[in-house]
Amino acid sequence: MTAPLALTIGDPAGVGPELAAAAWALRDSEGLPPFFVVGSARVVEEAARRRGISALVCTVKAPDEVAECFDGALPVLDLADLRYTPGEPDDAGASLALNALATATGLVRSGAASALVTGPIAKSRLARVGFDHPGQTEFVAQACGVTAENAVMMLAGPSLKVVPITVHVALRLVPDMLTAELIRTRAAITAAALTRDYGLTAPRLAVAGLNPHAGEDGRMGHEDTQVVAPAVALLRDAGINAFGPLPPDTMFHAEARESYDVAICMYHDQALIPMKALDFDAGVNVTLGLPIIRTSPDHGTAFAIAGTGKARVGPTIAALRMAGECAARRASA
Ligand SMILES: NC(=O)C1=CN([C@@H]2O[C@H](COP(=O)(O)OP(=O)(O)OC[C@H]3O[C@@H](n4cnc5c(N)ncnc54)[C@H](O)[C@@H]3O)[C@@H](O)[C@H]2O)C=CC1
Ligand SMILES: NCC(=O)COP(=O)(O)O
């Protein structure tokens, strides 16, 4: 029997707990594989009740108990008996989020769970309790023995897949961080993962320029000719179907998107703005280049709407579904 997916609760004051319950309530109509929440049974129960979901919670001690109860109740690996106060993050909640992330990562690494789906955390809140990574991506990478450089963030929705080459760094640092080798490395990991986990035999990579009009022959910056173009050449030499640098403003319209499978972007917002504009309600953040599968909904903690019932469950469902599909593909390879 396939091992279940491990879904971390994220920050308990955010929308993670209620979306876990909402996804479970739609398990049959959405055809979701069995999953369990790593977090707090009390928080999940209260979040479900507040959202009007009659979800029963069953506490499990280990993933092999999940199959028994998933049909009738939402399985939770209970790490803490916390009070549930939506929209009011505190250090105890941040500690639970961190503990849940570490525990779930360990369970997936051991094979007890088939894939990791992380609920949203607030990076600044976790930093207060000792989290010293830019995000969950780098935490999971380190736990898997993969360097941060080789753990690649991809945001995937029905309309668009994007990879930001630089991620959680100040915009003013981006030009100095970009090297042909960094672009080549991350784009090559992307191409390999699209083949291994998504079944694309020869993925097409559209590589964005950094500057307006991809530099306009050096009149608007030299990074496009001196850094991005050499990276594309290296990728092509390696047999990868990459092309660019493309002017970033004209590569995301509907017809342009038909010409590629993934857009390789130079910085966080160049990638995430078009993706979230098109696919916010079904977007998945996935980490490529790991020995395990890790996905996450594309949104954050949304503290302002936690507990109000306004948070939409689409991205959580998409993240669970994608994790299940990628795990199944690896298992059958
Ligand atoms: N995967 C993760 O762990 C992520 C965590 N974050 C963290 O989340 C915190 C808040 O970040 P923001 O930039 O405010 O992003 P956010 O995604 O939490 O919220 C942005 C806007 O989208 C709305 N929204 C978010 N999720 C929604 C949903 N499921 N349904 C309906 N509306 C939704 C929010 O109400 C808000 O108006 C930050 O601390 C950030 O670090 C942000 C992105 C991803
Ligand atoms: N903007 C994406 C984001 O914040 C998620 O980062 P991570 O925690 O998945 O590394």
Instruction: List the domain boundaries for the chain.
Output: 1-146+293-333, 152-289
List 206's β-bridge partners, or say none.
Answer: 243, 263
- Cβ within 8 Å of residue 79, ≥6 positions away: 38, 39, 40, 96, 99, 100, 103
CA 71 – CA 13 distance, rounded (Å)? 27
Task: Give the nearest ligand 2 atom to 136 CA.
Answer: 8
Domain 152-289: state its class: alpha beta
List 57's β-bridge partners, or say none.
Answer: 74
Question: Is 123 annotated as belonging to a binding site?
Answer: no
CA 98 – CA 108 distance, rounded (Å)? 16
Distance 193 CA to ligand 1 centre (A): 26
Question: Is 222 annotated as belonging to a binding site?
Answer: no
Question: Is 294 annotated as belonging to a binding site?
Answer: yes
Q: What is the DSSP letter of 34?
A: P
| Residue 56 pLDDT | 86
ipTM of the complex: 0.97
In this structure, which amino acid lies at residue 165? Answer: I
For the structural domain made of 1-146+293-333, what CATH number should be given?
3.40.718.10
Looking at the CA of 154, which ligand is closest?
A: 2
Tokens of 9: 């609760």
* Ligand 1 proximal residues by C-beta, below 6 Å: 15, 120-124, 136, 285, 296, 299-302, 304-305, 310-312, 315
| Residue 155 pLDDT | 98
| Residue 54 pLDDT | 81
Domains 1-146+293-333 and 152-289 in one fold: yes
pLDDT along the chain (333 residues), means of 10: 94 98 97 97 96 90 96 97 93 97 98 98 95 95 96 98 97 98 98 97 98 95 97 98 98 98 98 98 98 97 97 98 97 90
| Residue 126 pLDDT | 95
Residue nearest to ligand 1 atom 19, measured at CA: 302
Helices and strands counted in the chain (H then E) = 13, 12
Distance 273 CA to ligand 2 centre (A): 14
Give pLDDT tens digits for 28-43.
Answer: 999 999 999 999 999 9
Looking at the CA of 13, which ligand is closest?
A: 1
Distance 69 CA to ligand 2 centre (A): 31
| Residue 333 pLDDT | 85
Looking at the CA of 120, which ligand is closest?
A: 1
| Residue 160 pLDDT | 98
The CA-CA-CA angle for residues 159, 188, 123, to 5°, reads 65
Question: Is 211 annotated as belonging to a binding site?
Answer: no
Dihedral sign computed on CA atoms, order 35, 38, 43, 45: positive
Distance 149 CA to ligand 2 centre (A): 15
CA 5 – CA 53 distance, rounded (Å)? 21
Residue nearest to ligand 1 atom 38, measured at CA: 122
